[in-house]
Amino acid sequence: MHTTEQKLKERIKELTCLYEVTSLIVNCDYDKVEHALKGIVKCMERAWQFDKETYVALKTVDFDLKTDEKGTDYVFLESPITTFNKPHGSIKVGYPAPKYSLEDFLEEEQQLLDNICLEVGNLLERKEIRENEVRIRRQVEQADRLRILGEITAGIAHELNTPLANILGFAELLEERVADDSQASKDLKKIITNTIFSREVVKKLMFFACEMPQEKETVNIVPIIEDAIDLMRSTLKQSDISCDLKVSEQIITLRIDKIQLTQVIFNLVVNAIYFSPPKSTISVHVADKNKKVILKIADQGSGIPEDVAQHIFEPFYTTKPSGEGSGLGLSVVHGIVKSHQGTILHKKNNPTGTIFTIEFPKT
């Protein structure tokens, strides 16, 4: 039996712990939640009756924190952490077994544990809400920038089309006239090659600005994606990279422009190849889920730095060395996806790399 003095001492420890936990949560920087959780775990270790032998383990989707172990086997009090009424993790407080049993825990200690789990869940909810607000704000800002850039690039593309067509036409005519002059022929070939390259850049600009006419039809997209990947087999082989395609079923129908879908696959896989190390695998997953089709392309490369992430869909923005990329690939993909009322997002792959997720509505 505990004396009145012992009971009072335990209540003081519990109230002190709850006060410290509340203070850590109130003053928590949402970018340093792990630091606050470590502090909470340490507070809890001191709050239990046999504090010298108490072991605390906090585990959530993102964190796995523990105090120093005092044995190999334990008896535990446990309470769940929930966020938005869904399980998110748990906190366990244990004593070494068989020295202690569940009867050695106080009823008030279970109540304290439940209260702490409730507070931790509230903290993680607020963190998630804040992150969602930041992400939505960035998406709105990015959509605004892309809309303005789309209008500008559409005008540029139209202005460049006519002079490029004239340069190409007259260069081809001159090529016939100077067939006997080898140096002039070489120079003209360079002009023609660079003009064709410039025309392709203009075409990408028009794709980005959604100025290219679409020919949508309801098709099975599986063979289209298979063909697009097959066309890149030689590039994959040269880079010593494999590409793994998985589909939820062999017939996945979608109303889409076939050429533009091919371009989306091309650009994303080519990007993945460029940033992937040898011997790695690029995964392409296609799933038909009720009212939408989900396309995921994951690589095992170096990933996208945080300071770059918000710019990757902007035209002419590239992290590749000069001459190795026009900076239009992802902006074209973004324009095509948006023109099909779809969404495109990216996140970190585990342990390294990037996952691009595209969702196309089926209606």
Q: What is the CATH number of the domain that holds 362?
A: 3.30.565.10
Within-domain flag for 170: no
The domain boundary residue, chosen from 134, 166, 199: 134
Is the domain of 218 the same as that of 130? no
* Cα 246 to Cα 295: distance, rounded to the nearest angstrom: 10
| pLDDT on residue 323 | 47
Q: Which among 94, 21, 91 has a CA at the least distance from the CA of 59? A: 91
Is the domain of 119 the same as that of 248? no
The domain boundary residue, chosen from 105, 134, 163: 134
Number of domains composing the chain: 2
* Cα 277 to Cα 301: distance, rounded to the nearest angstrom: 6
Task: Give the angle subtended at the CA of 181 by the CAs of 175 and 182, to the nearest 5°.
Answer: 90
Is the domain of 361 the same as that of 221? yes
Within-domain flag for 47: yes
Q: What is the CATH number of the domain that holds 12?
A: 3.30.450.40
Is the domain of 360 the same as that of 249? yes
* Cα 90 to Cα 232: distance, rounded to the nearest angstrom: 47
| pLDDT on residue 79 | 94
- Number of residues written out for the chain: 363
DSSP bridge partners of 90: 59, 80
pLDDT, one tens digit for every residue, the chain (363 residues): 467 777 788 888 888 888 998 898 888 888 889 999 999 999 998 888 888 889 999 999 889 999 988 778 899 999 999 999 899 999 999 999 888 889 888 888 899 999 999 999 999 999 988 888 887 777 676 666 666 666 666 667 667 777 888 888 888 888 878 877 888 888 888 888 888 777 766 766 666 555 556 678 899 999 999 988 887 888 888 889 999 999 999 999 999 988 788 888 888 888 888 888 999 999 999 999 888 999 999 998 888 877 777 777 776 656 555 545 555 667 778 888 888 889 988 888 888 889 999 999 987
| pLDDT on residue 116 | 92
Within-domain flag for 311: yes
Cα distances (angstroms) measured from residue 118 to each of 22, 30, 89, 90, 271: 11, 17, 11, 10, 44
Is the domain of 234 the same as that of 359? yes
| pLDDT on residue 284 | 94
Is the domain of 255 the same as that of 354? yes
- 237 lies in which domain range? 214-363
* Cα 59 to Cα 92: distance, rounded to the nearest angstrom: 9
State the pTM of this model. Answer: 0.48
The domain boundary residue, chosen from 103, 134, 165: 134
Burial 122-150 (b: 16+ CB within 10 A, else e): ebbeebeeeeeeeeeeeeeebeeebeebb
85 residue type, one letter: N
Within-domain flag for 335: yes
Is the domain of 122 the same as that of 226? no
Is the domain of 127 the same as that of 239? no
